[in-house]
């Protein structure tokens, strides 16, 4: 099979040593071998989160993708209380939908996809309603927007609400400061910026809050965080049979991050994003949101008028490059280019050259007359081989 370059926000191209790790020994999850493996994963996750007061936090690992960790939080933390979900995109909407299943007291503040939250509006809502839990996506993957953890965390603290965060697509690429942002629980997944295979997810939380979960009536069996915490605490195990090979691979992925250094990893991902963005700007493409609001994990690009986005995806795929098309209200309007996982500078250069060729070819297909490049500057032209002339003007 061809090797695909996954320019997606996950799953990602994994490091070579994960392929070795996933085929480690067969072990039993009720033996010390697994206790040690899970202990090591937990330890490394605390390092990834740069937790200083390490005895204040614990991390459970769930066999199930990121959605499982989100549903575990939403079904385990609220009890009979009131939860306010903040949504400005596809994944915020999913948090809301999931919460409605488990929590009768579900509230929603909704913004159009890709628009930032108005903190004053959130504050006014909290003043007017007794809210016990606030839930928000950190990186809203559908638009690429990074939502304000510090601001919402401060509001949560001032209103004595627990703050729970969907960090599925940001953890491993952006700092999530549990202490500073007053986060009680944060979810993530193995297969995005952490760089491992899909299939595992995590919930990191304050020990004190984990302890309180047993007072709530269970709403699910498999995803009950109180049960996960009980097994973790008493024997460093999981309640049910875990996907053990994936645990070996996750452990290796976390070792890779720590060996590189957490800050170095964040910086490397950001540098790759900047390279891609610079290259795409030079192709006269425009982005959905301001670069200052973007997470460093991916770039959401507006589809130029002359372009059919499915054709673009298929043509890139013919060169083994995989990108995402927009979904929901962004369908046909945007495409997304991720830069997490094992992507080299050479891969980025190859992507940009291929994208340029595909854009030129699609213009010829449609016989669009050549137009002058708007906003092209002589500065920032990192890839000398680029012919900047006569690309279709974005939107």
Please give the residue ranges that form the binding site for ligand PLP (CB under 6 A).
65-67, 70, 91, 137, 141, 166, 168-169, 189
- Residue of minimal CB distance from ligand PLP? 66
Least CB distance from residue 155 to ligand PLP, whole Å?
A: 21
Least CB distance from residue 395 to ligand PLP, whole Å?
A: 25
Q: Which of 101, 96, 97 is nearest to 75 (CA)?
A: 101
Place of tokens 């629980």: 185
Is 13 or 141 the residue whose CB approaches ligand PLP more closely? 141
Least CB distance from residue 9 to ligand PLP, whole Å?
A: 6
1: buried, middle or exposed (CB in 10 Å: 19+, 13-18, 0-12)? exposed
Is 137 or 269 the residue whose CB approaches ligand PLP more closely? 137
d(CA 132, CA 96): 15
Orientation of helix 66-76 relative to helix 90-102, angle to 10° = 40
Buried-state track 135-156, b at ≥16 Cβ within 10 A, e below 16: bbbbbbbbbbbbbbbeebbbbb
Is 59 or 169 the residue whose CB approaches ligand PLP more closely? 169
Is 84 or 295 the residue whose CB approaches ligand PLP more closely? 295
Least CB distance from residue 139 to ligand PLP, whole Å?
A: 6
Query: Please, are residues 79 and 247 in contact by the beta-carbon 8 Å criterion?
Result: no
Strands 321-322 and 5-6 come out as parallel
**Residue 78, phi-psi category: left (phi > 0), alpha (psi -120 to 50), beta (remainder):** alpha
Is 145 or 156 the residue whose CB approaches ligand PLP more closely? 145
Least CB distance from residue 67 to ligand PLP, whole Å?
A: 3
Is 297 or 359 the residue whose CB approaches ligand PLP more closely? 297
Least CB distance from residue 12 to ligand PLP, whole Å?
A: 12
């Amino acid at each position: 099979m061809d090797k695909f370059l996954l320019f997606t926000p996950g799953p990602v191209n994994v490091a070579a040593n994960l392929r070795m790790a996933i085929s480690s020994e067969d072990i039993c999850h009720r033996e010390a071998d697994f206790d040690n493996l899970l202990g090591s994963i937990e330890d490394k996750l605390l390092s990834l989160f740069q937790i200083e007061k390490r005895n204040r936090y614990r991390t459970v690992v769930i066999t199930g993708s990121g959605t499982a960790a989100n549903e575990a939080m939403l079904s385990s933390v609220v009890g009979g209380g009131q939860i306010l979900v903040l949504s400005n995109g596809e994944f915020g909407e999913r948090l809301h939908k999931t919460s409605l299943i488990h929590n009768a007291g579900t509230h929603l503040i909704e913004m159009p996809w890709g628009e930032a939250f108005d903190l004053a509006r959130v504050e006014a809502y909290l003043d007017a309603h007794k809210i016990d839990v606030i839930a928000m996506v950190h990186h809203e993957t559908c638009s690429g927007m990074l939502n304000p953890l510090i601001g919402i965390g401060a509001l949560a603290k001032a209103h004595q609400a627990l703050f729970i965060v969907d960090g599925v697509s940001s953890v491993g690429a952006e700092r999530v400061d549990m202490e500073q942002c007053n986060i009680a629980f944060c979810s993530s997944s193995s297969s995005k910026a952490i760089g491992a295979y899909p299939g595992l997810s995590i919930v990191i939380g304050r020990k004190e809050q984990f302890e309180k979960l047993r007072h709530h009536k269970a709403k699910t069996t498999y995803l009950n965080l109180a049960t996960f915490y009980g097994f973790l605490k008493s024997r460093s195990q999981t309640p049910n049979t875990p996907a053990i090979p994936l645990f070996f691979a996750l452990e290796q992925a976390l070792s890779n991050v720590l060996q590189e250094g957490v800050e170095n990893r964040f910086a490397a991902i950001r540098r790759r994003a900047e390279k891609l963005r610079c290259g795409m700007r030079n192709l006269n493409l425009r982005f959905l949101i301001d670069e200052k609001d973007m997470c460093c994990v991916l770039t959401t690009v507006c589809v130029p008028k002359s372009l059919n986005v499915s054709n673009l995806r298929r043509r890139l795929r013919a060169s083994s490059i995989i990108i995402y098309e927009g979904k929901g209200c962004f369908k046909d309007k945007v495409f997304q280019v991720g830069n997490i996982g094992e992507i080299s500078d050479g891969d980025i250069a190859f992507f940009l050259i291929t994208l340029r060729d595909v854009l030129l070819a699609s213009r010829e297909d449609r016989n669009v007359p050549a137009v002058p490049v708007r906003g092209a500057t002589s500065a920032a032209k990192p890839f000398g081989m680029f012919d900047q002339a006569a690309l279709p003007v974005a939107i």
